Chains A and B, each alone.
Chain A
Amino acid sequence: MKPPPFSYHRPASLDEAFALLGSLENAKVLAGGQSLMPMMNYRYVMPDHVVDLNHCPGLSGVGVEDQTLIIGAMTRQCDLAANDLVARHAPLLVDALHWVGHVQTRNRGTIGGSLSHLDPAAELPAVIAAYDATVTVGNETALRDVSIHEWAAGYMMPAIDENEIAISINIPLSVELDGHAHSFFEIARRHGDFAQAGAGVVLQTVDDRVTDLRIALAGVDIAPVRLRQAEEFAIGKSLTEDVIDEIALFAKAVPGIADVHADESYRQRLAVVVVRRALTQAAGPGP
């Protein structure tokens, strides 16, 4: 189980990286390597070129600009989990990271890598969907922002061209969301496994009434799903047990996917459970 032969490229700047991806055929971008490398070891993926972004400046780190939390695509998961800005503005990301892989994979894995690999059961894309973020991608000629809601073009297929690189994840900040409640809950076969169903909840209430609710599911459908109807339904309501039950039931409508561990219907049932539990936790008497 050794990687197939390839040529290795180590761009020292973003422009150099763009140029490489613009000119090379069958190239793969190497970020944290936690998804690409196993696939290469199994020879499921056999690129002719590997473009290593680990030495490309300007792709990692977290900052706030123009009411936006900007997370460099090469920011490693472990660094996100420890970042104060993330904890303040996008705390659901920290919640979710608790469920992502293991310490060794979080130490290397990047947020951009999770987004680009787009495993249906990955937690981070769902969180990013909950925050209505955009992803800045670019190539030699231009940068563009893609809404996270248009990010999935298909099963494990992000809406990004072969010559493009994910640059950053941009989470819009709003006063209305300041100090929001949040919770991520998932069911996996074992700790650290990909979710069989996971739910991220971002919740804002004023006087005990819901003013903003975002519910994103991971692991149920082929890509992250927002429960828009449930979110709208919740507005103005007080989150009693019954209301939470009603909200959770909306998850039943999400088509489930099947894999070796469980069929569609099991995932649909779990979806309801994880939404209810995440929401109960978020609505609860505090952390």
Chain B
Amino acid sequence: MSETWTIKCLINEKPVEREVSVRLTLADFLRHEVGLTGTHLGCEHGVCGACTVLLDGRSARSCLTLAVQVDGMNVTTVEGLGDKTRLSPLQQAFMDEHGLQCGFCTPGMLTTLTELLANNPDPSESEVRLAISGNICRCTGYENIVKATMTAVRYIRDGMPESSEVVD
């Protein structure tokens, strides 16, 4: 492919050491070399936000980052936020408020909002909207994403409710 470089990083808390092509984007590295396909590519020019991951806790476009650049960094993808049997409060709130439809933008929304809630545990609705202004969703009209984030604030503060199949 072209020249390579060896990188060491933490991905979802697990150490990873790989030789990567220097032009490989972080998104392609995560998806096709590490097998973490939860990070999605929607535009590959840094506008849609589907590929957002956290680099040392800060959100970043993985389509605009080269894999070689995360050498020494701590990378968090959607897979690192929770799993099916133990959803994070934000993930649970997305489910409870129907904050997703096709799910393609969702990983980027979740990583972006995870950063927001870490920095601002009590955001206003308009702060939430600004935080996700760099994440495009074509399905939901954003309303339920915003609602889910406000609900997640509650879950984080007061604990998560008993799970149920139906919304009251």
Contacts and interface: CB of A to CB of B under 8 A. Distances in A.
Chains A and B directly touch (beta carbon < 8 Å)? yes
B64 to A, nearest CB: 4
B131 interface: yes
Nearest to A107: B58
B142 to A, nearest CB: 12
A211 interface: no
Interface in A29-64: 30, 33-34, 37-38, 41-42, 50, 52, 54
A267 B60 CA distance: 32
Given A3-B25, A104-B112, A8 B58 contact: no
Size range of the chain A interface in the assembly:
20 to 34
Contact of B133 (A33, A41, A50, A192): A192
B138 to A, nearest CB: 15
A50 to B, nearest CB: 8
A40 B28 CA distance: 15
B134 A42 contact: no
B134 A104 contact: yes
Contacts of A34: 46, 61, 64
Contacts of B60: 104, 107-108
Contacts of A37: 25, 46, 63-66
Given A41-B45, A191-B130, A33 B63 contact: no
Residue of B59, B131, B135 with most partner-chain A CB within 10 A: B59
Contact of B22 (A6, A33, A54, A191): A6
B48 to A, nearest CB: 11
Given A2-B28, A104-B112, 15 more contacts: A2-B23, A3-B23, A4-B23, A33-B64, A33-B65, A41-B25, A52-B69, A103-B112, A105-B134, A107-B55, A107-B60, A108-B60, A108-B64, A190-B133, A192-B133
The 8 residue pairs across chains A and B that have the minimum distance between CB atoms: A102-B134, A8-B22, A37-B64, A1-B44, A38-B45, A5-B2, A107-B58, A104-B59
Interface of B: 1-3, 5, 22-23, 25, 28, 44-46, 49, 52, 55, 58-61, 63-66, 68-69, 112, 115-116, 130-131, 133-135
